Amino acid sequence: MSVASTNFEPHKMIVAEHIQQLKKAINHKKNANPKGVIGFVPTMGALHNGHLQLIEKASQESDIVIVSIFVNPTQFNDPEDLKKYPRTISADIEKLEKSNCDILFLPHEKEVYPDGINSYKIDFSGLDKVMEGKYRDDHFVGVAMVVERLFDIVQPNKAFFGLKDFQQVAIIKHLVRVRQIDVEIVPVNIVRSPEGLALSSRNQLLSKEQKEDALIIYNTLLFGKSLAKEYDNTADILRHMKAYFDKGSLKLEYMEIVDPNTLKPLQSLEPGAHCCIAAYCGEVRLIDNMQIR
């Protein structure tokens, strides 16, 4: 069933399912505000407060806020993960209607990838080879492919990305630089539950007990930050952090302390050093990070 808007009522969010509808909606908004800055928040849906913060930030920094929801198949290296990814479109639309989103773009795969999924080439200068890249083959190729395509369709002036996906933000900044795309990338701070769990669409797949278990990630990062006041050597810090993490029940995939720009592991702490963690809580893969110095 189509959820696209058929006529544009003032102050009502417009829903566009096709590129033509989106262009029409943007023109409609631009007529009222020709110099209006377009702020774009690309998402894969299953919206939570972290997304709503991105939209809030977008509405503070732009005049027309466009949100897209598209579960991008090319960034999933595991078909099971793609199948399990939460899809909550009615609840998402309800949340967006209460937010400052002006236009929701819900594209179909055929319009995002009209020529099918062709081989897409981009050199990430090694940013894709570390951390997530070691465990999720071609994940960032899929992310860059869809983000470049969405930028091409939406033509935003600014685009907003959450820093929970710290490596993704570095990859997208790189994409925009090498492809010379005229869009400002605005990173937005991680939003956490009151207990400290980084908000993620995947948290919907966790039981109440698992959400408590998953706090070990945040607590380990906090522990790392406190160790960074005492130690300079990252091997020492990681050893203590891993021992602490192992007291919990999650399965660690990686824990690294990296330079925030190159994402290369640091031997010795430097200002801006980030600790990044990926771990499994049951079947659910979670990531988080924190600047520790």
**Complex with ligand PAF: residue 165 or 256, whichever CB lies closer:** 165
Contact 261, 135 (CB under 8 A): no
Least Å from the CB of residue 211 to ligand PAF: 20
**Complex with ligand PAF: residue 161 or 245, whichever CB lies closer:** 161
Q: Beta partners for 239?
A: none
Q: What b/e string do you get for 193-227 counting C-beta neighbours within 10 Å, with b at 16 or more? A: eeeebbbbbbbebbeeebeeebbbbbebbebbbeb
Q: Copy the structure tokens of residue 96.
A: 């967006």
Active centre residues (catalytic): 51
Least Å from the CB of residue 62 to ligand PAF: 17
Least Å from the CB of residue 6 to ligand PAF: 27
The one-letter code for the residue type at 200 is: S
Contacts (Cβ under 8 Å, ≥6 apart) of 115 = none
Least Å from the CB of residue 161 to ligand PAF: 6
Please provide the size of the chain in residues.
293
> What is the rounded distance in angstroms from the CA atom of residue 86 to the CA atom of residue 293?
35
The contact set with ligand PAF (CB under 6 A) reads 42-44, 72, 75, 143, 146-147, 165, 168
Least Å from the CB of residue 41 to ligand PAF: 9
**Complex with ligand PAF: residue 142 or 248, whichever CB lies closer:** 142
> What is the rounded distance in angstroms from the CA atom of residue 67 to the CA atom of residue 60?
14
Q: In terms of DSSP bridges, do strands 158-162 and 184-188 run parallel, antiparallel, or are they unpaired?
A: parallel
> What is the rounded distance in angstroms from the CA atom of residue 133 to the CA atom of residue 141?
10
Place of tokens 């010379």: 180
**Complex with ligand PAF: residue 197 or 228, whichever CB lies closer:** 197
